């Protein structure tokens, strides 16, 4: 079960105990890669070819378990997010830990902060974001690009808006994905996916468009596996009169985050209209997600459909540290404060892009 203790599940805000060395007890109620010891790691494989939901002869629609409005709230240093996972209403949805729809104005951002034990997926919707970490990695992702970051045993980095001189803000999504217990200690890594690399598919006579970021849609596969924990991520657009259907791996948790317009989700016996900025959480039972937009609609609907393999493990989270028990969290804080076990390079390090925020 996830910890119900006060936490700050954010990109940049670090709980005071981490900074001050205050005791924290009161706050806590497959491809092959090698770990830091050189031991081979088994990558979690995607769904088998005979997955019952992906091959169902008469697929049934998934029903809706919960609909959450992502309310706007301040976050980081002057940024604003709409958070729909990582809240009291939906603490976690294994393997997902957090979902933020972030708006970053010039001069705001997420300066230097640590992570351990999770992966983050950042998808830029408009503008651009600069990234820099304590290992010397740095770069910029632009509208339509994604960055997949594995924090593993530990990383310290900064994410700041890319200043292009126009004064425009930057908008993006960030999803935190839990790492399996046996992969929490891997070395950190990055995989960038440029907009030009993402396959696109058109369906229903052009009324439906899908960017296949990760997974499979209408017979089109994504370019490559980008995360250790299997995740499907589709950017779906439906024009007036369009109907979308998407089979999902059996038993995976799934949700749709609505970005634009109004989407009608078809559950078989009933339908549900959902406006923008809501998270639609589906039941695990069923084979596919059905969505449509009425023929007389005046707006195009757009949403992100995300599905992931559940992890059978406890989640204990304290800010940017995600482990499986309280002792692991205490060790992560100690390691970060004392610059050891993955955080050695944090000592004396300060990012160039975050310097203006200090």
Listed residue (184, 192, 97) closest to 149, CA to CA = 192
> How far apart are alpha carbons 240 and 205 in whole angstroms?
12
Which tokens belong to 124?
Answer: 């830029």
Listed residue (185, 94, 129, 186) closest to 12, CA to CA = 129
Determine if residue 101 is labeled as part of a ligand binding site: no
Pairing of strands 271-274, 263-266: antiparallel
Residue 26 CA neighbour count, 13 Å, CB half = 5
Determine if residue 278 is labeled as part of a ligand binding site: no
Determine if residue 32 is labeled as part of a ligand binding site: no
What DSSP state is assigned to residue 329?
H
Q: What is the torsion angle, in degrees rounded to the nearest 10, for the CA atoms of residue 102, residue 334, residue 181 and residue 121?
A: 20
Listed residue (150, 192, 193, 201) closest to 44, CA to CA = 150
Q: Tell me the β-bridge partners of 308.
A: 231, 253
Residues 6+ apart with CB under 8 A from 155: 114, 115, 116, 133, 134, 135, 149, 188, 342
Contact predicate 248/306, CB 8 Å = no
What DSSP state is assigned to residue 61?
B
Q: Tell me the β-bridge partners of 263.
A: 274
Determine if residue 157 is labeled as part of a ligand binding site: yes
Which tokens belong to 294?
Answer: 């009425």
Q: Write the DSSP assignment of 203-235 as a string of letters.
A: ETTTTEEEEEEESEETTEE-S---SSS-EEEEE
Number of H helices, E strands in the chain: 2, 28
Binding site residue list:
113, 115, 157, 159
Binding site residue list for Fe cation:
113, 115, 157, 159
């Amino acid at each position: 079960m996830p910890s119900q203790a006060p936490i700050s599940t954010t990109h940049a805000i670090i709980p005071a105990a981490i900074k001050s060395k205050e005791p924290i007890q009161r706050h806590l109620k497959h491809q092959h890669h090698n770990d830091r010891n050189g031991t081979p790691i088994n990558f979690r494989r995607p769904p088998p070819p005979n997955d019952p939901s992906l091959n169902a002869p008469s697929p049934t629609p998934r029903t809706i378990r919960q609909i959450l409005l992502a309310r706007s709230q301040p976050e980081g240093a002057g940024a604003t997010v709409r958070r729909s996972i990582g809240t009291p209403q939906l603490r976690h949805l294994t393997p997902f830990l957090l979902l933020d729809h972030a708006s970053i104005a010039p001069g705001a951002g997420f300066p230097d902060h640590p992570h351990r034990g999770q992966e983050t997926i950042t998808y830029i919707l408009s503008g651009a974001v600069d990234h820099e970490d304590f290992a010397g990695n740095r770069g910029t992702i632009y509208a339509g690009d994604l960055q997949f970051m594995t924090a593993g045993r530990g990383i310290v980095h900064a994410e700041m808006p890319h200043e292009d001189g126009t004064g425009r803000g930057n908008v993006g999504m960030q999803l935190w994905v839990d790492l399996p217990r046996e992969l929490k200690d891997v070395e950190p890594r990055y995989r960038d996916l440029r907009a030009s690399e993402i396959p696109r598919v058109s369906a229903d006579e052009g009324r439906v468009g899908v960017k296949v970021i990760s997974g499979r849609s209408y017979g089109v596969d994504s370019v490559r596996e980008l995360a250790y924990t299997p995740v499907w991520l589709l950017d779906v657009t439906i024009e007036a009169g369009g109907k979308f259907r998407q089979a999902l791996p059996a038993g995976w948790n799934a949700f749709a985050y609505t970005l634009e317009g109004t989407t009608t989700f078809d559950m078989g016996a009933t339908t549900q209209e959902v406006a923008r900025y809501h998270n639609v959480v589906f039941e695990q039972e069923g084979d596919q997600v059905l969505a449509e937009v009425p023929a007389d609609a005046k707006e195009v609907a757009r949403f992100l459909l995300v599905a992931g393999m559940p992890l059978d493990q406890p989640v204990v989270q304290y800010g940017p540290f995600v482990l499986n028990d309280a002792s692991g969290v205490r060790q992560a804080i100690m390691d970060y404060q004392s610059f050891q076990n993955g955080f050695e390079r944090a000592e004396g390090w300060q990012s160039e892009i975050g310097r203006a925020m200090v």
